[in-house]
Structure 1
């Protein structure tokens, strides 16, 4: 499906993590998964200089499920507000694991970035992660209502961002002006071409991906909701413009490409960034992998273009 080989720098970086785990994801506790992601994050940013941001504060948002921790990055003269939702299969990751990425988004787009520490599985099943994402977005929209409001996220966070945009459309608020989806989980078609082509990878076997999707999107509440996976939405009309970053070597690629086509068919402006030499998770590799660093720059350029086209409320 992809004739471009994986960037050797990506392979070398992943080798620093040690041999792939031989234990199925279903047999790994949430605490073990979270610790593994923290260790991997430390490897990915090893030796990288911190990205300077004018002001960074840790705050709390009052949500329907209680207090939601957020980290807010503020430039001196902001151009927009971006709500950022981290990846981690809805079970791992957080404000700290994605601090390098959110700092860079703030610096390179001159945006107020609100990084959300939403509740996760298995302690908090759907809709808790989604509800926190939505409540945090509503709060973020009140910070600077004069500026465009974007929702963004990678992997599981990209799923949440797309679904926040759907619910905001359906319920007439908060106003979401654009969505930035970095290799999001769109649907659970495990027989798609990319699932079959890349499902044998040692770092994330198809069986592990199936486990994560089933834990999140196959509960009774999720199956009854249009906001678990954005590909389940009956219509994509009326959604805000989107940037979708797709990695060439990614099991989610086919569903992301199909989602981009559906958005375009519904009249939604879409910018697709395709990086054939990269894998799922590349946004975290940017401090140490030149091709991922360049991909990040292309992504923030695309976001800046979106911001430039978005004027917000009159």
Structure 2
């Protein structure tokens, strides 16, 4: 199938990356052994363990009173990554907007399956509400974390709390069916995240689950009304493009408030991988400005 063209700067940067088209258990084991990137921040931090999950709290230096809080869920296809993956994104909000950041390390598939991952994230959210002196609570995540953020926000609505002021879904992984046009466009050739990788990840998550709930695969949720203001962004040149656009469209259809940005020439996770590229800078700036307006409102 023909595909949208990549942004020229991103295409040049991507040419130096080792890319594949599939993901296997053996490859996953190797990827999990790669060291995490060091966290560069002057924020105050401490770790909390609750049962099977670990949270890290980052606070602006010298903060003494209540502040907005971003609850961050990392990417990695729900099969890899940790609470510090892509942490530079919310830490930028900490520095610019003065928010507290709580990042959760949930259990991973295929060791954990079904609703376990989203349940872990919801448990961490409840701890955050009970222990962080926050004026407004934002749930945010990237890729798999974006899908889990959407699932947690649906859970909070369906369980009458906690109250979420906004959700930020960055190239979110929302639909286990893997049958959109964009999913088929990014199949059979090497990429950052392909249809084949996505199929492996969802098989790992679902396990023996046959009746898939909307909290796990948010695209299945029948009702998208009553959600908080939502920011969704994606690239034109990525596997999740169409499910992300559809999710925003369905929020609008339900009378909700959603802002959607589909960045021309952006591949999956482009602004996390190459944050200094021109398109990445624009995407990050637009997202941060939206969050600032939403928190001020």
Q: TM (normalized to structure 1)? A: 0.84
CA change 1:87–1:30 in 2 (3 A) is: same
**1:162 aligns to what?**
150
1: CA distance, partners of 2:183 / 2:27: 25
Residues 155-193 of structure 1 show CA distances to partners (whole Å, capped at 9, x for unaligned) of 100011001011111111111121110011111343312
Residue among 234, 238, 257 paired with 1:269: 257
**2:8 aligns to what?**
8
Which is worse superposed, 103-112 or 283-292? 283-292
Residues 250-269 of structure 1 show CA distances to partners (whole Å, capped at 9, x for unaligned) of 11111111110111111110
2: CA distance, partners of 1:141 / 1:81: 9
Following superposition, the deviation at residue 138 of structure 1 comes to: 1.1
2: CA distance, partners of 1:176 / 1:2: 40
Residue among 244, 263, 276 paired with 1:288: 276
**1:194 pairs with 2:182:** yes
**1:28 pairs with 2:26:** yes
**1:131 pairs with 2:116:** no
1: CA distance, partners of 2:44 / 2:187: 39
**1:210 aligns to what?**
199
CA change 1:33–1:236 in 2 (3 A) is: same
Following superposition, the deviation at residue 32 of structure 1 comes to: 1.3
2: CA distance, partners of 1:109 / 1:57: 17
What count of residue pairs does the alignment treat as equivalent? 293
Q: Which runs of 5+ in 1 are unaligned?
A: 310-314
Is residue 84–residue 103 contact of structure 2 (8 Å, CA) maintained in 1?
A: no
Is residue 148–residue 307 contact of structure 1 (8 Å, CA) maintained in 2?
A: yes
1: CA distance, partners of 2:165 / 2:139: 8
Q: What is the root-mean-square deviation of aligned Cα atoms in Å?
A: 2.5
CA change 1:58–1:9 in 2 (3 A) is: farther
Q: Which runs of 5+ in 2 are unaligned?
A: none
**1:74 pairs with 2:59:** yes
Q: TM (normalized to structure 2)? A: 0.89
Is residue 57–residue 103 contact of structure 2 (8 Å, CA) maintained in 1?
A: yes
Residue among 30, 33, 46 paired with 1:58: 46
Which is worse superposed, 75-84 or 297-306? 75-84
Residue among 137, 141, 147 paired with 1:149: 137
Corresponding residue SS for 2:111: coil
